[in-house]
Amino acid sequence: MSDIVLEIIRAIIVSGIFIYLWIVGGKGGISKQKGWINILFGFGLILFGMFIDITDNFPILNQYIIIGDTEYQAFLEKVVGSLFGFILLAVGFWKWMPTVIKLKITERELKESLDNLELRVDERTAKLQKKITEHKLAEEQLLEKKETLKVITESTNDAIIIMNNGGIITFWNTAASNMLGYSKEEALGENLHEFIVPERFLNAHLSAFPQFQKTGKGNAIGTTLELYAIGKDHIEIPVELSLSSIMIEGEWFAVGIMRDNIERKKMEEKLRRLATIDSLTNINNRRYFLDLALKEMNRSKRYGHPFSLIMLDIDHFKKVNDTYGHSVGDQVLIDFCDTCMKELRESDFMGRLGGEEFAVAIAECDLEGAAILAERIREAVASHTVVIDNEEIHFTVSIGITQMWQDSDWNSMFESADNALYKAKNNGRNQVQSAEIKPV
């Protein structure tokens, strides 16, 4: 009885496999594999043989299952059914195994490919993360540099202005606003040349601009120039301008750094005055006067124009100093120079030679004209009064004049005027004397 149960269990198992192969296998794509039909029929024949074994124990059923008429034929029927079943099963598996092996190989290759793909994905992910990190770092560094540049450009006392290839202002720092009076909002987008360049220099700036637009070069690029700029109040400001060029997105931009030159100009003017102007009387000092007079004499001689020289000496000036003190004497010198300057033309120039001695160089004027001017000066000085602490102080001047001739040089002309001055002093002072240099 136990054998029958085992046969039934085996039959159920084989039936399950057969049904799976028939129903589920067909839907799952196993039917497309080589050897599937052989395996299916092999399990069918084996199942048939099992049913014959089971029915041997049930005579009623046996007559319906056994095809043969004798027991021998029934035996052959079972053996042949089972044998052919196993043969078909073996053939089926023989055909199916290469596919399974190939499938396994394919699965292994696919797994290796997936592993390689994952590795490549990991590598690319790592590279991408590295690039992202580097990009973020670069952005942070760029931001830091921008902030540094902003601090530098906003803290400097020099105006920094950037102009694009079309002449439009694209950058304007705080120093530029302080220097020129325009806010950043007012300046950005404006044409630089029309905005701050004085009209008299505009054509020169515009004529050089096309070359800069094409090449980024020009006579002003890489140099420092002394120019003038117009502020918001329409007043010209002396500036020191340094220009450079930079290529941005295929176009040339100009970067200008301007320094307010007013203080330097003031200092230069102060130094110039110290070098050329007498600090007390505010007229030319001896050195500068002699330089100007010599140049004017040479020019007059070159073009054959008249030129005259006047020498002046305040009479009894030592007595003024001794009586009233040096401060009063200084005021007398100042008033004397102011009085003389009122009588001179713009082309004439006066200088202090030392102490109370002065000279006037007169271009385009002969001896007769110089005499008229000298007499006018003498009269003006004689009629002038210096009032100090309600006390009136009067003084006079002695004057000597001379004229340049073609054979004159500066030394002889200066000596001639000096001799005429001493002649006026020796003849009683407060008068004009002339000394004429005649050609040889």
Q: Kindly indicate the confidence band of residue 263, based on its pLDDT and cuts at 50, 70 and 90.
A: confident
Residue 392 has pLDDT above 80, yes or no: yes
Whole-number pLDDT of residue 48? 63
Q: Kindly indicate the confidence band of residue 249, based on its pLDDT and cuts at 50, 70 and 90.
A: confident
Identify which of 178, 142, 185 has the alpha carbon closest to the alpha carbon of residue 160.
178
Q: To which H or E segment does residue 401 belong?
A: strand 397-403
Residue 18 has pLDDT above 70, yes or no: no
Long-range contacts at 268-275 (CB < 8 A, ≥ 24 apart): none
Whole-number pLDDT of residue 212? 84
Dist. CA 138–CA 276, nearest whole Å: 59
Residue 230 has pLDDT above 50, yes or no: yes
Q: Kindly indicate the confidence band of residue 440, based on its pLDDT and cuts at 50, 70 and 90.
A: very low
- Both structure tokens of 234: 């329409």
Side-chain half-sphere of 405: how many Cα atoms within 13 Å? 10
Residue 19 has pLDDT above 80, yes or no: no
Residue 49 has pLDDT above 70, yes or no: no
pTM across the whole model: 0.54
- Both structure tokens of 90: 């073996």
Dist. CA 88–CA 93, nearest whole Å: 9
End-to-end, the C-alpha distance of the chain in Å comes to 174
Q: Taken in order 277, 278, 284, 285, is the CA torsion positive or negative? A: negative
User: What does the pLDDT look like over 151-189, one tens digit per residue?
Assistant: 777 778 888 888 999 989 999 998 889 889 999 899 999
